Structure 1
Amino acid sequence: MTMQVTATAIADVKLIKPDVFGDERGFFFESFNQREFASLVNGGEAVEFVQDNHSRSAKGVLRGLHYQIRQAQGKLVRVIAGEVFDVAVDIRKGSPTFGQWVGALLSADNKMQMWVPPGFAHGFVVTSESAEFLYKTTDYWAREHERCIAWNDPAIGIDWPIGFAPVLSEKDRSGKLLKDAEVYP
Structure 2
Amino acid sequence: MKIFSVWLILVFTAGALSACQPASTATPTPNLDATIAAGVATQLAKMQPTQDIPATVSAQQTQFAQALPTQAPTQPSPAMTPTLSDEEALRLALLAYLGWQENELIFSIGQIQNNLARGGVKRAGEEQGAGWFAGKQTDGTWVIVHVGQGIPYCADIAAFSFPTDWISHCMDASGNAVER
TM-score in same-fold range (> 0.5): no
TM-score normalised by the chain length of structure 2: 0.29
TM-score normalised by the chain length of structure 1: 0.28
Higher helix share: 2
Higher strand share: 1
